[in-house]
A and B are shown apart, each in its own frame.
Chain A
């Protein structure tokens, strides 16, 4: 109890003298706010990307690709393979017994961003006629659905917002074909909203190709996945890999989220080292400015623990203020901002997603701030504790 009262009394005195040290204290607050703002905003990219990818795909949908393909880009399925996949067990079927699936292909279109006119690769995905049954989350929000056998496309909401020439009625020219934009769609914020969609047979015909790249099948239930996978694996005429759709997109984004996280921690780490030195400098000067007070309190009988704790408490509070300011700045300026990858995110093409400054991320930023504060306050605190009292009193 006595110890807590000592710590409380010395800490209160520290804080009361803070106004006299406001400029040096601000160095710590601003430095740490900067570190946390950068760390949180960069991590908000990977959080946003992960969030987008986690909403992409369903547990009861499976993607079939050629054996050994890590992404749709490197996969090819001929028509014979597609016919065999159609017979797979576990696929949801309509009342006539027809399987609900979509044999798909895609290619890359080069489009210009509205913001800076940069040329970016965007996916044009060809889908089967049962698209709306396979992907019931797809809704036309403007215009209409494309017609098969004519060069018509619908564009995702995010792509529509980011790129030039994607309004309904616009024509996208690519490899000699003129694709007319007939509608805008949304898919509950998932990765498909960054792409364009058309009829797979029309795309094959225009590109003079005969094969598909993947088959997306709606399953009877999430638990039917293994049955479906086993049935295709057991067919010696097929050499395919089967993955749950959600797992596929999670894997595709893994590399990019890892890169973003590494960048965030490396940049944040370098800045944090700088902030630790700023905190060290500030707290050393705080201890120097209060040398007389510290020596007097020690002479009167205050213990070294109270000194250590009070200096640490001051460093921690300054860091906490900086951390909260940094996290709030990141949230105010970046949360909900739309950004896009440059070109392919794995096999996903250009991907548009929102930065997400989540509460967890803000807490992480504040924890970093506290760690910086403790590291920056520790050595000055020990100096205050080890101060030879008699010598310090004489130096006053």
Chain B
């Protein structure tokens, strides 16, 4: 296996009022291609901050962040946008679908950043929706879908452009147990059958059980790193 994500001595500080608060203290981390990593820890431990750094949504205060061969800590804001479009698929806790668009139009959004033809975009959207089992709800708007279905649409949107890395921020946080299990099964299937590398932040130990590796953060430091056999 090869390293897809490498963090070297990464720190991240925020300024709150007149105070400088360091959220991550010199984190070193390697994530291999094909891993399904669950980031766990109490609120304020820095897991979402770490996820944002890996996804190129934020820049570290110091240290190196190497993802898919790129030093993303050195990229400008504009270049980082292009980089995210090429490499990252996002799955959010509250789905973040665009309410005015249908499911298929939502899934198509990342493809608008590519040079694919309209026919090719449509074909890929169809494949992605079939993969998450929602092909028949393609013309429905988010408010016509259940929470679980909306999260499936969000997963279809995350995988439609075949990104290098899927990042999930509490993907089951807004779902009931049954829907949560379905979503986790789907993510696990994507990891196992499509070899998708997934980094997931979660509070839920049951959701974390689907991951192949569990990493615990506490007060900005990695405390526990557990790998599970497939």
Residue numbers of A with Cβ under 8 A of B are: 1-2, 5-6, 9, 13, 16-17, 292-293, 295-304, 389-390, 393-394, 396
Q: Which of A16, A296, A303, A394 contacts B81 (CB 8 A)?
A: A303
Q: Which of B58, B82, B92, B115 contacts A301 (CB 8 A)?
A: B82
How far, in angstroms, from A394 to B169 measured CA to CA in the complex?
10
Name the residue on B nearest A388 (C-beta): B58
How far, in angstroms, from A298 to B52 measured CA to CA in the complex?
13
Q: Which of A5, A303, A396 contacts B78 (CB 8 A)?
A: A303
How far, in angstroms, from A2 to B81 measured CA to CA in the complex?
13
Main secondary structure of the interface of A (DSSP, over half): helix
Name the residue on B nearest A18 (C-beta): B100
- Per-residue interface assignment for chain B, residues 90 to 119, with 1 indicating a CB less than 8 Å from any chain A CB and 0 otherwise: 101010101111000000011011110000
How far, in angstroms, from A137 to B88 measured CA to CA in the complex?
80
CB distance from B35 to the nearest CB of A (A): 22
Q: Which of B99, B101, B109 contacts A300 (CB 8 A)?
A: B109
Residue numbers of B with Cβ under 8 A of A are: 48, 52, 55, 57-58, 77-78, 81-86, 88, 90, 92, 94, 96, 98-101, 109-110, 112-115, 157, 169
Asked if A304 and B78 sit within 8 Å, CB to CB, the answer is yes
Asked if B100 and A16 sit within 8 Å, CB to CB, the answer is yes
Query: Could you say which residues of chain B place their CB within 8 Å of the CB of A301?
Result: 81-86, 88, 110, 113
How far, in angstroms, from A156 to B71 measured CA to CA in the complex?
85
Asked if B52 and A296 sit within 8 Å, CB to CB, the answer is no
Query: Could you say which residues of chain A place their CB within 8 Å of the CB of B101?
Result: 13, 16
How far, in angstroms, from A13 to B100 measured CA to CA in the complex?
7
Known: A13-B101, A393-B92. A5 touches B112 (CB 8 A): yes
Query: Could you say which residues of chain B place their CB within 8 Å of the CB of A396?
Result: 92, 94, 96
Known: A17-B99, A301-B81, A301-B84. A389 touches B57 (CB 8 A): yes
CB distance from B36 to the nearest CB of A (A): 21
CB distance from B93 to the nearest CB of A (A): 9
Name the residue on A nearest B83 (C-beta): A301
How far, in angstroms, from A179 to B87 measured CA to CA in the complex?
94
Beyond contacts A296-B96, A298-B81, A300-B109: 18 other A-B pairs, Cβ-Cβ < 8 A, are A1-B115, A2-B114, A5-B112, A6-B113, A16-B100, A17-B100, A295-B96, A299-B84, A299-B96, A300-B90, A300-B113, A301-B88, A303-B81, A389-B57, A390-B52, A390-B57, A393-B96, A396-B92
